[in-house]
Structures are given as structure tokens and as C-alpha cells.
């Protein structure tokens, strides 16, 4: 017969084993499911064939009535082809729609800008640097962003804690500018950081930092978020984030931009992105667009 101490050890060991089994069988929460890794390859591997066999009249029309046929999405699957800025913008709209959907598991703290925001910022900054008066229309467009009237599926900035700004750079490369309200920081994520020097990146980012900070002040961010008043007279700190997973060929910078943004809103580290899975990422982008009724009739429904 075991001693009292041996019996106590057996009970403790049994209890730990039961707890361990319970942890293994517990269903993960929605935020604990890594959407970047749990792809079903069978779902995406035939996307090219499906598009080719269904050359219907389904298309997406942008704000200026340009039409983009579904079969043009085949280029996204090709790893040596650039992802069109239009296709990136479509995917960004889908991600904004997820944030806008109260039932989705993504973080609601992030605002994702579109590429028109980049153009408006550059135009306004250039006008000011030239010593001219900024056009009323240009300022009103930027003001629409702060109010949540632009882009599609947005809320007023004051309801967010972060801004994600996708930015194109000459030479087929992309940046993400992350504005952290609480820390009053302007962080640069270079999706192809082997190409650009830190000085070149800072030169590109400086206009956006100045304009975003001015817009935040104009929206009375310090009144709406009292905890930010400590930053009232401070300039945002600019920081370049090093050592990101980056492309090893030219055309994949846009793919990585989209995956990084997914990491932010789903709450996963950027290390979850794998260069080896670029082909799968590309197929998923195409499938996400094709199966969404907002752009095309559902795929694999």
C-alpha cells in the first residue's frame, strides 16, 4: 500500500494529466485560429481551372467605371507577375469590410486606408511645399477620411487606435505606414526592405507623418481621447521596422503587404508570414475575391 506522500504525488500527477488533456481538447477561440496557416490547399489549387472554365460576364467596376473581368485575376496566381494595384485595392476593401462587420473575429481598432488617400496626401504636401494655398477640394477629401466618409467601409478616425496606410513606391515595391495613436508613433514596414536605404524610406515617409499628425490634431483627437493629451506638443516618432519576411523576387511585395495587414487585424505576429507560401497566398487572394458577392458571384459556394 502506498504511503500518504506517494498517494498525494499520484493524485497530483493524475490531476495534471487531466488538465493537460482538457487543454488539448478545448476549442480555440476565433482569434486563436491562425488564418495565415490553416489554408486547405485543395480549395485553392483548382482556381485557375475554375476561372478558365467559367468565363462569365462577371466583372468588378471601380469608381470611374473601369471594368475588370474575373479572368484577369489569373495573373495574380503567377509568381513572376506583379499584383495589380486594382486587385490589391479590392482585397483591402474586403479586409475593411471584415473590420466593419461587428460579427467578424478581427480587431476593430485598425483603419485601413486606400490608395486615393496616398495620392491626396502627396498632392496636398506638394502644394504646400510649393508655397501655394492648398486646394479646398483636396483638403475636403482628406477631411472625409478623418470623418469616416472615405474609404468604403470606414468609421471616423477617432473610433480607432491605429491607421494602416498602404503606399506604393517606384520600382514595384510597397510600404505599410502604421500610425499608433497611443504610443504616438509612425512605423514603417517595408515589404521589400532589401531594396531601399533607411534615408530613402524616411524621405518617402516624412510627408505622410506630417499630414497624418496634422489631420489627427484637426479631428480633436486629444479631446476625444484624453489619454493622448500628453502628446499634444510632440512630433510623432518615425521608426523603420527591420527584419521583416521580405520578397526574394520583384513581384511579391504586394502579396506581402496584404499578408502583413492580415496579421495586424487578426492579431498574429508578422513572423507568421512565410515566403515559401507565396504561391498559396496568391491563390487565396484570388479565391477571396472570386467567392465574395460584393465583387463577383460566389466561388465554391
Tens-digit pLDDT profile for the chain (301 aa)? 444 444 444 434 444 444 443 333 222 333 434 444 334 445 555 655 655 555 554 455 544 454 555 556 666 777 667 777 878 888 898 899 899 998 988 999 999 999 889 888 888 888 776 666 555 566 788 989 999 999 988 999 999 999 999 998 766 678 899 999 999 999 999 887 666 788 888 888 988 999 999 899 888 888 889 989 999 889 999 999 876 766 565 678 888 899 999 999 999 888 888 888 888 888 888 877 766 655 543 333 2
Q: Strand runs (DSSP E) across the chain, as ranges?
A: 59-61, 67-69, 110-112, 162-169, 173-180, 185-190, 237-240
Residue among 290, 296, 279 nearest 77 (CA): 279
Q: What is the per-residue DSSP string for 167-204?
A: EEETTTEEEEEEEETTTTEEEEEETTTTTS-HHHHHHH
All structural domains of the chain, each given as residue ranges with its CATH number in brackets, are: 34-290 (3.40.395.10)
pLDDT confidence of residue 292: 66
Instruction: Copy the grid coordinates of residue 232.
Output: 499634444
User: Among 92, 158, 160, 151, which Cα is nearest to 117's?
Assistant: 151
Q: How far is Cα 241 from Cα 172, in angstroms, rounded to an integer?
A: 20
Looking up cell 493524485 gives: 11
CA angle centred on 219, ends 214 and 222, rounded to 5°: 90
Quote the CA–CA distance of 167 and 174 in Å, as a whole number.
6
Of 271, 288, 133, 121, the residue nearest 209 (C-alpha): 121
User: CA Rg, the chain, in Å?
Assistant: 23
d(CA 82, CA 67): 19
Type and span of the H or E element at 74: helix 74-77
What separation in angstroms does the CA of 211 have from each of 4, 5, 137, 179?
Answer: 72, 69, 16, 12
Within 102-161, where are the H helices?
115-129, 136-147
CB 250 within 8 A of CB 191: no
- Rounded to 5 degrees, φ, ψ at 155 are -130, 170
Question: How far is the CA of 68 from the CAs of 44, 65, 119, 300, in angstroms?
Answer: 21, 10, 22, 21
Q: State the pairing for strand pair 185-190/237-240.
A: parallel
Per-residue model confidence (pLDDT) at position 138? 67
Q: What is the pTM of this model?
A: 0.76
Amino acid at each position: 500500500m502506498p504511503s500518504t506522500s506517494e498517494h498525494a504525488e499520484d493524485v497530483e500527477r493524475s490531476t495534471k494529466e487531466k488538465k493537460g488533456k482538457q487543454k488539448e481538447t478545448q476549442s480555440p477561440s476565433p482569434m486563436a485560429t491562425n488564418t495565415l496557416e490553416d489554408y486547405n490547399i485543395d480549395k485553392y489549387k483548382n482556381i485557375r481551372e475554375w476561372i478558365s472554365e467559367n468565363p462569365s460576364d462577371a466583372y468588378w467596376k471601380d469608381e470611374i467605371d473601369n471594368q475588370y473581368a474575373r479572368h484577369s485575376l489569373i495573373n495574380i496566381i503567377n509568381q513572376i507577375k506583379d499584383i495589380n494595384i486594382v486587385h490589391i485595392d479590392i482585397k483591402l476593401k474586403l479586409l475593411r469590410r471584415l473590420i466593419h462587420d461587428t460579427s467578424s473575429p478581427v480587431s476593430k481598432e485598425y483603419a485601413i486606408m486606400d490608395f486615393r488617400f496616398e495620392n491626396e496626401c502627396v498632392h496636398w504636401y506638394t502644394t504646400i511645399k510649393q508655397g501655394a494655398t492648398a486646394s479646398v477640394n483636396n483638403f475636403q477629401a482628406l477631411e472625409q477620411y478623418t470623418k469616416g466618409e472615405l474609404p468604403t467601409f470606414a468609421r471616423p478616425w477617432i473610433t480607432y487606435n491605429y491607421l494602416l496606410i498602404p503606399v506604393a513606391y517606384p520600382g514595384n515595391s510597397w510600404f505599410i505606414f502604421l500610425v499608433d495613436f497611443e504610443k504616438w508613433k509612425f512605423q514603417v514596414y517595408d515589404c521589400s526592405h532589401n531594396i531601399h536605404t533607411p534615408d530613402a524610406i524616411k524621405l518617402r515617409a516624412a510627408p505622410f507623418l506630417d499630414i497624418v499628425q496634422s489631420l489627427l490634431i484637426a479631428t480633436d483627437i486629444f479631446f476625444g481621447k484624453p489619454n493622448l493629451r500628453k502628446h499634444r506638443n510632440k512630433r510623432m516618432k518615425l521608426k523603420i521596422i527591420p527584419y521583416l519576411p521580405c520578397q526574394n523576387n520583384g513581384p511579391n511585395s504586394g502579396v506581402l503587404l496584404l499578408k502583413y495587414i492580415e496579421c495586424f487585424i487578426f492579431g498574429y505576429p508578422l513572423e507568421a508570414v512565410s515566403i515559401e507560401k507565396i504561391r498559396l497566398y496568391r491563390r487565396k487572394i484570388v479565391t477571396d475575391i472570386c467567392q465574395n458577392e460584393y465583387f463577383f458571384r460566389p466561388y465554391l459556394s
